[in-house]
Chains A and B, each alone.
Chain A
Amino acid sequence: MADVIVKMEGISKTFGGIKALNNVHLELQAGEVHALMGENGAGKSTLMKILTGVYSKEAGHVYLRNEETGSLDEVEMKSVLMGLQNGLCMVFQELNLLDNMTVAENIYLGREPIDGPYMLNRKELNDRAREQLKKVKLNVDPNMPLSGLSPAEKQCVEIAKALSFDSRVIIFDEPTSSLSASETKTLFSIINELKSQGRCIVYISHRMEEVFEICDRITVFRNGEYVDTKKAKETNEAGLIKLMIGRDLEGEPNQGSEFVNRNNVVLEVKNVKIFPDSKPVSLKLYEKEILGMFGLVGAGRTELSRIIFGIDGISEGEIYIKGKKVDIKSPKDAIDAGIGLVPEDRKGLGLVLGMSIKDNMLISKLRQLKSAFLKKEELKSITGTYTSDLSIKMGNENQEVKELSGGNQQKVVIAKWLAMEPDILIMDEPTRGIDVGAKSEIYDIMKKLAGQGKSIIMISSEMEEIQKVSDRVMVLHAGSVTGELDIKEANKNNIMQAAFGGVGNE
């Protein structure tokens, strides 16, 4: 195995008590395109960030090939710069580029050619940049500001930057999610050329077709653990999905709630377009139902919820609530129509962190109160009800909400919506970043709410959560519905297949 250039062994990493990586290993070879696959949160990106020095590892060893002696030497990657100097580069989606600077400045940021002690040699800078741009077949003036480039062109600039470090390993994280078909083709030809130069390309993607088109080997992760490495030629889509979701069954199967009232459609979405070029989406939500909405990153689940809740305008299609057409232009309209939304970004969109628990719980309720004057007893009885119903653990309700744990913060967000008594509750990743105990409490709350007559749409990236809580599962892929399954027939296999766009459909 002379051409192994990176070897990672026993890598572990924990984020806030949750094991993101557990004793993971990986081997990368020169001249290969190596795919990393797995569900959201399987640990692919985290592992690559450890390799390139973005994160530090908690345990394990990283070995890099010494190009002179050909031996594998252990390296402690302390910073991104150190990673770059060792020929390891991760191409993020536009994240590492500065829009206000020129293409050339971006490529050589911090390494600009200098005349004398301080003077920037712009001609030399542009000449060098032009050379790198040629390698990625990007025909733009290195002196133009980056903001003038398309997302695909920016990505090429990122690659040019990687090449300017003469990187041996170039990592792409979901590189095609913002690219058109023809741009994807160009990217693939660049990747193939890089590969023929003996570089190693790591390709992180959810898109099966692409992985099978350009990758040589595929490593699968699940829940932060290494599962297997396969040659692309020796496996197929079904085989990979099986590896990704595992075979282990846990707990008793969820049969769905018997109380779902199929005769009463509470919310109906008709022909709504999530993305400008995606197929229109329609869905029905029944009384007392928990509809699980599954999909991979970029499937358009959050976008759909934003449209229903009036954050983003609706370009096409209609929304009906209890059979009546509604025109929702703002969250205020949505709330008046009886919709609540527990957002994925709890701290940024769900809470005003510097305000008290009490004020956060009441902020949406206030406008339903008759009097503009705040009556202490009335408010106290509202907050008291939900604090005890949801068993929120806190010192007192005048505490700032930022002092609470993630689980209790989430309960405050839920309480905020329950206080205004919505019929429909959309919950976007309701248990993200919450510990296991609080998770099951939140599941219980959701089931109780549905039992009490509310209808819930639960957006989730966690397969187990979807299977455990939903009465019905809806799967999105690239902005369109690729699967709708009753919970009794939903299993990891058919959910995952739908999430990848439906095997056999393509």
Chain B
Amino acid sequence: MNREKVKIGALRELLLVIILIVMCIVWTIMNKNFATVNNVMNILRVASYTAIASVGMTMIIIIGEIDLSAGSLVCVSGLSAALIVKGTNNIVLGIIAALVIGALVGLFNGVVCAIGKLPGFIATLASMTILRGIAYIITGGNSVVWTNQMFSKIGTGYVGPIPVPVLIMIVVVIFGVILTTKIRFGRYIYAVGGNSNASRWSGISVEKVKIIVYVIMGVLTSIAGLIITTRLGSGQPSAGTGFEMDCITAVVVGGTSMAGGKGKVMGTIVGVLLIATLTNGMTLVGIDTYWQQVIKGAIIVVAVLIDSKGKSAN
């Protein structure tokens, strides 16, 4: 019985990969531009920033919480970096500022959630709103434009044939996989999400684990913010709207349970790629963007239904 269960668990991940491959084949048949290096890199670049933040979101959802502030943080961290680069022309300072802001917002979310005992949903709903307000306050509603071309390279540059954001994504994914599977702290994330009371009774500082995970999420989100902003070429106070939902979608499609305690970073990455490939292919074959949304929504329902059916079959 046990062996079968392992099979079904692995089967699910395999299924996602199979769907991804089948989808690629379909798009390739329908449009020969799909399977070009250029387009694949394009897909990966679009996937990169969602993937980076989704690594954090996976951990957040594994501990049984949620982060709604990701979209607003993408905006504020990117804007801050843009303003600093515009003012000082110092890229390093801009990047550090973005990362520090990300860490601080994560700390705020984590403390309100873990020490203040508010549900993560509420804590991050508040910071989402606050940050969006701040974005408009610091820009006065205008876009922020810089002249330093090197700064733009974060989002648009290449190393050989590989876009810089894709390289950053690979590093973050490796970090996420090691953190969740290879080190002690990873076990604590799953334990806290699976049963926070039992975790506490086992000597784990549940509060500390939650705060650290939120800080990781904040930093990763600000990296995504840097990429998104530099790729756009200007800082927009409306940037990143709905970004948190893209992350949550990827995590859920990737098989992580919203109930907490279960999930995998690699599953999420497959989820991100699945959605990016779907969107790219639909655009290439000329499906109307409004219809794309309808189809994406339907895919989420189907993916999660398969997941829950698979689980109840056990």
Give Cα A354 to B195, complex, Å.
Answer: 9
A353 within 8 A of partner (CB):
yes
CB pair B184 A369 closer than 8 Å: yes
Give Cα A234 to B150, complex, Å.
Answer: 98
Q: Which residue of A lies closest to B186 (CB)?
A: A374
CB pair B182 A331 closer than 8 Å: no
CB pair A355 B2 closer than 8 Å: no
B194 within 8 A of partner (CB):
yes
B88 within 8 A of partner (CB):
no
| 0/1 string, B177-205, CB within 8 A of A gives 1 | 00000111111101100110111111111
State which of A32-40, A271-279, A357-365 sits at the interface with chain B. A357-365
A54 within 8 A of partner (CB):
no
CB pair B183 A373 closer than 8 Å: yes
CB pair B2 A363 closer than 8 Å: no
| 0/1 string, A356-383, CB within 8 A of B gives 1 | 0001001110110100111000000000
Q: How far is the CB of A96 from chain B (nearest CB, A)?
A: 25
Contacts of A399 in B (CB 8 A): 2, 5
B254 within 8 A of partner (CB):
no
Give Cα A349 to B195, complex, Å.
Answer: 8
CB pair A311 B6 closer than 8 Å: no
Give Cα A366 to B201, complex, Å.
Answer: 14
Q: Which residue of A lies closest to B261 (CB)?
A: A354
Q: How far is the CB of A420 from chain B (nearest CB, A)?
A: 8
CB pair A372 B183 closer than 8 Å: yes
CB pair B187 A359 closer than 8 Å: yes
Q: How far is the CB of A383 from chain B (nearest CB, A)?
A: 13
B 218-241 contacts with A by CB, 8 A: none
A151 within 8 A of partner (CB):
no
CB pair B262 A354 closer than 8 Å: yes
Contacts of A372 in B (CB 8 A): 183-185
Among the listed B183, B194, B203, which residue makes an inter-chain contact with A332, where contact means beta carbons less than 8 Å apart? B203
Give Cα A354 to B262, complex, Å.
Answer: 8
Task: Please tell me the number of chain A residues within 8 Å of chain B, measured between CB atoms.
Answer: 35
A332 and B261 in contact (CB under 8 A), knowing A355-B191, A403-B2? no
Among the listed A309, A354, A366, which residue makes an inter-chain contact with B194, where contact means beta carbons less than 8 Å apart? A354
Among the listed B1, B195, B205, which residue makes an inter-chain contact with A330, where contact means beta carbons less than 8 Å apart? B205
CB pair B187 A364 closer than 8 Å: no
Q: How far is the CB of A382 from chain B (nearest CB, A)?
A: 13
Q: Which residue of A lies closest to B196 (CB)?
A: A352
Give Cα A373 to B2, complex, Å.
Answer: 27
Q: How far is the CB of B3 from chain A (nearest CB, A)?
A: 8
A 283-301 contacts with B by CB, 8 A: none
Give Cα A330 to B202, complex, Å.
Answer: 10
CB pair A349 B198 closer than 8 Å: yes
Which of A359, A366, A399, A416 has the most chain B CB atoms inside 10 A of its CB? A366
| 0/1 string, A382-399, CB within 8 A of B gives 1 | 000000000000011011
Task: Please tell me the number of chain B residues within 8 Å of chain A, measured between CB atoms.
Answer: 27
CB pair B202 A331 closer than 8 Å: yes
CB pair B6 A374 closer than 8 Å: no
Among the listed A331, A354, A396, which residue makes an inter-chain contact with B201, where contact means beta carbons less than 8 Å apart? A331
Q: Which residue of B lies closest to A342 (CB)?
A: B201
B 1-15 contacts with A by CB, 8 A: 1-3, 5-6
A341 within 8 A of partner (CB):
yes
Contacts of A374 in B (CB 8 A): 182-184, 186-187
Contacts of A244 in B (CB 8 A): none
A350 within 8 A of partner (CB):
yes
CB pair A348 B184 closer than 8 Å: no
Contacts of B204 in A (CB 8 A): 332, 363
Which of B195, B197, B203 has the most chain A CB atoms inside 10 A of its CB? B203
Q: Which residue of A lies closest to B181 (CB)?
A: A374
Which of B1, B184, B202 has the most chain A CB atoms inside 10 A of its CB? B202
CB pair B261 A364 closer than 8 Å: no
Among the listed B1, B184, B261, which residue makes an inter-chain contact with A366, where contact means beta carbons less than 8 Å apart? B184
Contacts of A332 in B (CB 8 A): 203-205
Give Cα A350 to B201, complex, Å.
Answer: 7
Give Cα A374 to B195, complex, Å.
Answer: 21
Give Cα A400 to B203, complex, Å.
Answer: 21
Give Cα A1 to B252, complex, Å.
Answer: 67
CB pair B201 A359 closer than 8 Å: no
A352 and B2 in contact (CB under 8 A), knowing A359-B190, A373-B183, A374-B183? no
Q: How far is the CB of B73 from chain A (nearest CB, A)?
A: 27
CB pair B197 A364 closer than 8 Å: no
A355 and B6 in contact (CB under 8 A), knowing A331-B201, A362-B187, A366-B184? no
A424 within 8 A of partner (CB):
no
Q: Which residue of B lies closest to A379 (CB)?
A: B187
A407 within 8 A of partner (CB):
no
A473 within 8 A of partner (CB):
no
A416 and B261 in contact (CB under 8 A), knowing A348-B197, A367-B184, A372-B185? no
B 148-202 contacts with A by CB, 8 A: 182-188, 190-191, 194-195, 197-202
Contacts of A367 in B (CB 8 A): 184, 203
CB pair B187 A363 closer than 8 Å: yes
Q: How far is the CB of A247 from chain B (nearest CB, A)?
A: 40
Q: Which residue of A lies closest to B194 (CB)?
A: A352
CB pair A352 B262 closer than 8 Å: no
A352 and B203 in contact (CB under 8 A), knowing A372-B184, A373-B182? no
Contacts of A331 in B (CB 8 A): 200-203
Which of A334, A336, A395 has the most chain B CB atoms inside 10 A of its CB? A395
Give Cα A400 to B186, complex, Å.
Answer: 17
CB pair A396 B2 closer than 8 Å: yes
CB pair A364 B202 closer than 8 Å: yes
CB pair B203 A348 closer than 8 Å: no
Q: Which residue of A lies closest to B262 (CB)?
A: A354
Show 27 A/B contacts (Cβ-Cβ < 8 Å), sorted by A. A330-B200, A330-B205, A331-B201, A348-B197, A348-B198, A349-B197, A349-B198, A350-B198, A350-B201, A351-B195, A352-B195, A355-B190, A355-B191, A355-B261, A362-B187, A363-B191, A363-B202, A363-B204, A366-B184, A366-B188, A372-B184, A372-B185, A373-B183, A374-B187, A395-B1, A396-B2, A416-B202
B residues with a Cβ closer than 8 A to A are 1-3, 5-6, 182-188, 190-191, 194-195, 197-205, 261-262
A residues with a Cβ closer than 8 A to B are 309, 311, 330-332, 334-336, 341, 343, 348-355, 359, 362-364, 366-367, 369, 372-374, 395-396, 398-400, 403, 416
Q: Which 4 A-B pairs have CB atoms at the shortest separation, nearest pair first?
A: A352-B194, A395-B2, A335-B203, A352-B195
